[in-house]
Structure 1
């Protein structure tokens, strides 16, 4: 039996504390173990062995154990910060040298190229390979054949490397970096979601020519959703039209994130040579065949004035977000390099600021200073607040501490099929995950043994025996779903999963040959398990398998993977738009279901009204029964009938949005009333009231961004107008233009081919779901007529 005071003691010991708790003697771990030992029989060996191991490691240090003893004796005086501040020095040093980062950006901004240079300069790979087509080696992180053929990243890929940086005394300091390269295409946005969910920091890459683009805004929104600090890297400084300071301005204006350059470029376009560091006030050049060496020189004379202006702007921007710099700024004092670095780190970690680096990954220039920025300004695992919900304490919020000696808590954030079975990627937030250990899935409380633990390097693996708190790994043989929380069984914690957007496009699919049905089903199950945005349903009316996803490319990739990985050729139907239906006006209803067929009959009467909720985000069912005219169990049946009706609307058979039903009266029969009768009566009342309300069909509108060379601007605008797009904004650059428009998804099928033809293959576009809006009347009439015709044909069978 668990001690009733355990949860309170443990929670307070970890999250109740104060930063000032510096305690002198040697009992923190003993108290910490005592707080969890209540889960075991008195005198169980686990506490003793952990304590012994810890005491052997910490040598003369005793502050960490003192904090835990104080936590047990007086939990109200301590906080998570005290545990971090008073960690075993070996543990504190380990965490200080860990960075968990992701690289994210708009499509074709150079994420994978940049990651390739990071791996090369850290010694993780021996040669640089480019993002190319079928016959070349291809970038390390694009391990899938489809990625190398198309030149895009489809799946996020994890790796790890060590970066050695000299401290201010000139001593080499080695940092361990866990890195995830993410896709840029909106169709694969779930890969970015799940990566950012488990990372402590990120590098936001921008194109020096295009600056902030549509997917940059999406990635910024995802980073804010998970409170991920970021540094920014303006890439492609060697491209024609490169303007890094335009990108800095757009981060401030479009992303609403205070930003300032921490570097000034030495030249641009074909004349880009290196950067000037505004902290050290030195010019930095890359030398060597692949830019392996860094050479520091004095600032070029022609840049002295620009450097002074940009440094003043950096200090002024920091003064707005950091009190220490603000004080120096008001006193007209120049901050020292150490003060500047400390302020940039404070402001970045607290999500108030992003420092902007610049360079060219493809030209092997200024990538190493960006890596220095990762370790200087992005947080280590102990500096990030990660919360769990304690299911044994009514989902009370608990702060997790990345301390190896604490009970294990980890989150499965990605599933992947490999030659050796299911591979589950796990971020360890607290405690240690050991090979052979038993872990518990918080969702179903199932116990599973961990047979193998590996560190991933793209599609390669390195086997390890254990992974400490704050690290990322992958395990075999653990059956789970993406977003599941694992513990060692001592704690009843669960963590929130990642945000999963709703699919916007569907199509029917079936194997060409019936003999492939088994592999077809196996592939569908696997893809759906790995990708939460890929949905598979069976339409019993049309007897078709329907797949749904985030866009045409998303579904095309899975159809192609089916052919390559499972040798199943498929036939697909026309893409189907995820339309929605909504009520028009308020309508009162009074519906009686009365049926007598001998024996017990059906009797249910429901009265009330239906109306719009005012928002398309949700549907609402309410009961306002006075006097008990309908009992509680029958009201539950009414709600069930309402929810079923919303799943398949009366107009065209699609989901209903923005509809509210209120039941305020009714009647029952002593023998003929049943839950089934009230469920059916509610559904019938729903259909009739909905039809009388002047309902509407809603269509998904997509935020569409089209970029092409300037000479094709008229052709592209004509192409969008033909498809009924609403053009919101146009930006004209040196040699290209960008159009921002809202387009109905139905009107965008085949747009990719038309755009290529209109721009000689030089145009590109992205689409992202924006919102639902009423479809044009003619479109609504056509959809309703088609649905009624299909229904009539099915009824004849």
Structure 2
């Protein structure tokens, strides 16, 4: 079973991981986040800061010897700046445990994570941690879970002595009539037989009740709630039994080789090590295996710039030879001749591998996770004596390990821009560059990444514009929100060689990375309306002369001019990223909060006031969200809580922001032609 441990930061994920490993006999004593000696936080920076930055895998046996299952436990970051790490893990999980603090209750990231787990169909148990801490609450936490997460969340046992070091959590017994009735009510919502028995007042056998609970948990309809403490071990046996009996195990697949890469790291010699979740078949030592991603020929087009992983690959499949395989077993990795279905393996030898690649065949039921894109960008400033080439290589390696970190290279100014999620992530990157690569860097102030959207229809046309031997006509028009960039033809596919059409299509996607204002163009339909080329020609009794014949290069270089002409005629508008927010605050503090939301350009909805409590939802620009989090505590006596989720883009009010271009600027026709002609 491949099990993910997920939570809002500081809820106790890593402590729970340590306690599970200890309870299974894998480690002698549970490590401490504060002491920096945990099993899964292996990075020095993780130990110093006391947070998880990179996902880590540990393995332990669960259950009696005659019915034992091997659990691959994946500890994930809790801080929202590292949401990309969580995204990668979700695609390889069989089940998950979502950790909530009994003191802080349901927090912002908790809601985002459970929504995503439910959408992806990942069976999830809820573990309420820290019952031994002062301020821990039982009923209040359950109410928050059923009100803010899911109503189908039956508590699996009571807690005695909550809020004290002697706190204990015990499972409900089969003789507890109140529990049986409450569980029947929850399960009857999705089970007609149970509903009929409940309405008729018939007693449901305990075995049938538990069988229905397991079935509905595996179907993501119910999320059982366990209470306990990762520090004292209270409630852990009950949770471990729930993991074994309520969550699904990995299946064997159809026998064909199929595995997915969810993490890439570098070894001591700089070699790539791929973490592969095996879904089917066997991955054997010395095998030559296909590696790539299904339908990935343009996955880079949705990101800020090209080649963000540093590999320069276009997503096509390639082969790699497996030189070593290590499978996780009882806490550590063991060298094996093969990795089998259901296992997680560290694999050496796949030199061109990237996160998200499939080893062997891709699963047809695989699902995209759709986490929010990074909405912030910063300019990397090399310190005195820092080699720019070494810096770019190091950043490319970091982006390779985190594909939602995109690099935007400005060859004209020799600058590198980095897109990311937040300030903590920026600090981590700076420290990593210093400690792992010996590079001193600073960063400019973080800015918001906008997008451009066409507002009309525009046309562009060039015929045999010297020195380009080719005709290109394009029409640009807006497309429905969320549809992305599409390319179509209004000319016959046989009117010129396919390679020339492909050159135009690829260049269109690349060029739309920077629109009229320098931002990536989204939701745009581009149609090729005219085409023409010079057939392959040569002088008499001579070889091929490209000066007399069209090449793909001609189409790659003329297309940006045509496309920008069409885009200029269509016009674009800049749109900024916005988040949907929810504020929970005392009702008497709403007065000073509303003017703050106005200053931050937020659009609030109608407040929901219930007694002394108030909740307020609305939209706020991503650029203002951090400021809201800073100022809210001071206006609400420290009781105000904000949670947010990326909600898309909205038009920028006032003067449209622009971003400096990093290409040869086809908007400047004369300058572009001078540069491109010189490059030929």
Tell me the TM-score normalized by structure 2: 0.79
SS in structure 1 of the partner of residue 619 of structure 2: strand
Structure 1 match to 2:70: 176
How do residues 120-131 of structure 1 correspond to structure 2 at under 5 angstroms? 120-131=22-33
Structure 1 match to 2:261: 412
1:771 CA drift (Å):
0.7
Relative distance call for 1:153 and 1:706 in structure 2 (3 A) is: farther
| 2:458–2:570 contact (8 Å) kept in structure 1 | no
User: Are residues 1:482 and 2:355 paired?
Assistant: yes
CA distance in 2, matches of 1:223, 1:769: 16
SS in structure 1 of the partner of residue 110 of structure 2: helix
Relative distance call for 1:729 and 1:238 in structure 2 (3 A) is: farther
1:372 CA drift (Å):
0.9
Once the two structures are superposed, residues 243-274 of structure 1 have per-residue CA deviations (whole angstroms, 9 ceiling, x without a partner) of: 54555555555445733222233354349733
1:374 CA drift (Å):
0.3
SS in structure 2 of the partner of residue 143 of structure 1: coil
Residue in structure 1 matching 2:524, options 644, 654, 659: 659
Structure 1 match to 2:289: 440
| 2:320–2:350 contact (8 Å) kept in structure 1 | no
Once the two structures are superposed, residues 364-388 of structure 1 have per-residue CA deviations (whole angstroms, 9 ceiling, x without a partner) of: 3212211110001011113xxx8xx
Residue in structure 1 matching 2:445, options 542, 556, 574: 574
| 1:642–1:683 contact (8 Å) kept in structure 2 | yes
How do residues 75-224 of structure 1 correspond to structure 2 at under 5 angstroms? 99-132=1-34, 136-164=35-63, 173-224=67-118
1:279 CA drift (Å):
4.5
Kindly report the root-mean-square deviation, in angstroms, between the aligned alpha carbons of the 2 structures: 4.3
CA distance in 2, matches of 1:372, 1:521: 49
1:514 CA drift (Å):
3.7
| 1:455–1:464 contact (8 Å) kept in structure 2 | no
Residue in structure 1 matching 2:323, options 450, 453, 465: 450
Structure 1 match to 2:578: 701
1:654 CA drift (Å):
1.1
Structure 1 match to 2:539: none
How do residues 599-678 of structure 1 correspond to structure 2 at under 5 angstroms? 604=471, 606=473, 610-625=476-491, 639-640=505-506, 642-650=508-516, 652-662=517-527
Once the two structures are superposed, residues 97-152 of structure 1 have per-residue CA deviations (whole angstroms, 9 ceiling, x without a partner) of: xx3211112222221222222222222222234322xxx34433222222233222
Tell me the TM-score normalized by structure 1: 0.68
Relative distance call for 1:762 and 1:516 in structure 2 (3 A) is: farther
Q: After alignment, is 237-246 or 769-778 more displaced?
A: 237-246
Once the two structures are superposed, residues 288-343 of structure 1 have per-residue CA deviations (whole angstroms, 9 ceiling, x without a partner) of: xxxxxxxxxxxxxxxxxxx6444312111112223553454344322232222211
Relative distance call for 1:567 and 1:718 in structure 2 (3 A) is: farther
SS in structure 1 of the partner of residue 52 of structure 2: coil
Relative distance call for 1:334 and 1:446 in structure 2 (3 A) is: same
Q: After alignment, is 657-666 or 366-375 more displaced?
A: 657-666
SS in structure 1 of the partner of residue 400 of structure 2: helix
1:758 CA drift (Å):
7.5
1:657 CA drift (Å):
1.3
CA distance in 2, matches of 1:521, 1:311: 61
User: Are residues 1:541 and 2:391 paired?
Assistant: no
| 1:439–1:450 contact (8 Å) kept in structure 2 | no
SS in structure 2 of the partner of residue 354 of structure 1: coil
User: Are residues 1:311 and 2:155 paired?
Assistant: no
User: Are residues 1:473 and 2:345 paired?
Assistant: yes
| 2:187–2:212 contact (8 Å) kept in structure 1 | yes
Relative distance call for 1:579 and 1:273 in structure 2 (3 A) is: same
Structure 1 match to 2:278: 428
Relative distance call for 1:733 and 1:554 in structure 2 (3 A) is: farther
1:682 CA drift (Å):
5.8
CA distance in 2, matches of 1:610, 1:422: 41
Larger Rg: 1
Query: Unaligned stretches of 5+ in structure 2?
Result: 293-316, 536-547, 676-680
SS in structure 2 of the partner of residue 119 of structure 1: helix
Once the two structures are superposed, residues 615-650 of structure 1 have per-residue CA deviations (whole angstroms, 9 ceiling, x without a partner) of: 144123333459999997776665456434422101
CA distance in 2, matches of 1:642, 1:673: 18
| 1:118–1:368 contact (8 Å) kept in structure 2 | no
CA distance in 2, matches of 1:163, 1:746: 46
Once the two structures are superposed, residues 198-230 of structure 1 have per-residue CA deviations (whole angstroms, 9 ceiling, x without a partner) of: 121111222335544332232224323542111
| 2:120–2:367 contact (8 Å) kept in structure 1 | no
CA distance in 1, matches of 2:210, 2:523: 50
CA distance in 2, matches of 1:627, 1:208: 63
| 1:580–1:654 contact (8 Å) kept in structure 2 | yes
Relative distance call for 1:614 and 1:380 in structure 2 (3 A) is: closer
CA distance in 1, matches of 2:231, 2:584: 22
Residue in structure 2 matching 1:565, options 428, 436, 439: 436
CA distance in 2, matches of 1:785, 1:193: 31
CA distance in 2, matches of 1:640, 1:427: 32
CA distance in 2, matches of 1:476, 1:734: 60
| 1:509–1:546 contact (8 Å) kept in structure 2 | yes
1:448 CA drift (Å):
1.3
Q: After alignment, is 563-572 or 323-332 more displaced?
A: 323-332
CA distance in 1, matches of 2:274, 2:587: 47
Structure 2 match to 1:321: 190
Query: Unaligned stretches of 5+ in structure 1?
Result: 1-98, 166-170, 282-306, 387-399
CA distance in 1, matches of 2:414, 2:649: 28
CA distance in 2, matches of 1:271, 1:732: 36
